[in-house]
Chain A
Amino acid sequence: MQFLEKEIQQYTQLVCSTLLGIEVQPLPGQYEASLSDTFTGSVQISGKWNGALLLSLPSSLVNTLTETLFSLDPEKTTTEDKKDAVGELINMIGGNIKALLPQPSKLSVPLLGLEGQEQFFPSTEMVTHCQFECQGKSFALSLYEQVEKT
């Protein structure tokens, strides 16, 4: 079992269910999608515990989630709407995960990467990777923890 794997799965399911009314299920394996089709959002956790939580979603799923969250007509979502929706999702999941980590720790505002914009977290290593299924599409959450430089 990876670090906080069960909790990340539970909170992701909880946030998607309460915020969006959408059921998501954990999937085994690694999320693999082309960079040009992946939208990312991350929050940084700083303080007693340092690291980052990264949400990676395919574009088509971002559209669905954005339409649901803001009750928009299909094909009417703007890039700003998508940024807000992904930012809100990662903020809520990150806030729940932060509460499980050593305190005091602070959550940053979200950082977003549009399709084709990969996010990297130097001086960290990925400690947990959880893949999920939502309406036939997969997405993932990855937790990165600071690595002490020797």
Chain B
Amino acid sequence: MQLYETEICQYTESIWKNILDLDVKKTEEDYCPSEGENILAGCVHISGEWEGAVALDCPSELAKKVASIMFNLTEDELSSDLIQDALGELTNMTGGNLKSLLPEPCYLSLPAVTMTEYGLKIPGSELTTKVTFKCWGYKFNVSILKKVSAN
């Protein structure tokens, strides 16, 4: 069992259900985006007694569907700002819940959202936990990255 894997599952399922009324389930399948596939990756940093980041990366099509539900708009009505807002909000809620498990005091950053083909690049940190979920046939990852001490 990876660090906080149970809590990631619990929080993710709960957030997606409460905010979007969507059922998401952990899957043992890997989320390996195909070449050329656009991924939207949300990230919040945690600084303080514990240092690292929480990331949520998903296909841009899923981010669009999520934004459509969150803002009650059709996919055609969505701007890219709203899609980024939606993913940022989900990442922020997931990170906020996970932060409460970490040693205090810790600060949660604002979310950053990246459009990428390769996933997030956070130098000086290592992946400690990655959980893959399935929603509407799309897969997405929720990850914890911990800062690696310099020495």
Contacts and interface: CB of A to CB of B under 8 A. Distances in A.
Interface in A93-141: 105-114, 116-124
Contacts of B56: none
Nearest to A86: B123
A143 interface: no
Interface in B92-151: 107-118, 120-125, 147
B59 interface: no
A98 B45 CA distance: 15
A5 interface: no
A58 interface: no
A114 B85 CA distance: 22
A118 B122 contact: no
A44 B112 contact: yes
Contact of A108 (B45, B81, B87): B45
B48 to A, nearest CB: 6
- The winner among B51, B109, B120 for most chain A CB atoms within 10 A is B109
Contacts of B53: 108-109, 111
A112 B122 CA distance: 6
B121 A107 contact: no
B111 A117 contact: no
A119 B110 contact: no
A113 B114 contact: yes
Contacts of B124: 87, 109-110
A84, A106, A108, A119, most chain B CB atoms within 10 A: A108
User: Interface size for chain A: under 10, 10 to 19, 20 to 34, or 35 or more residues?
Assistant: 20 to 34
A123 B82 CA distance: 10
A84 B118 contact: no
A113 B116 contact: yes
Interface in A25-82: 42, 44-47, 50-52
Which are the 4 A-B pairs with shortest beta-carbon distances?
A108-B45, A106-B47, A44-B109, A122-B88
Interface of A: 42, 44-47, 50-52, 83-84, 87, 105-114, 116-124, 146
Interface of B: 43, 45, 47-48, 51-53, 81, 84-85, 87-89, 107-118, 120-125, 147
Given A45-B109, A106-B107, 11 more contacts: A42-B112, A83-B121, A106-B47, A109-B51, A109-B122, A109-B123, A111-B122, A112-B123, A113-B121, A117-B115, A122-B81
23 contacts: A52-B110, A52-B112, A83-B121, A83-B123, A109-B45, A109-B51, A109-B52, A111-B45, A111-B112, A111-B114, A113-B114, A113-B116, A116-B117, A117-B115, A120-B84, A120-B113, A121-B110, A122-B81, A122-B85, A122-B87, A122-B89, A122-B113, A123-B110
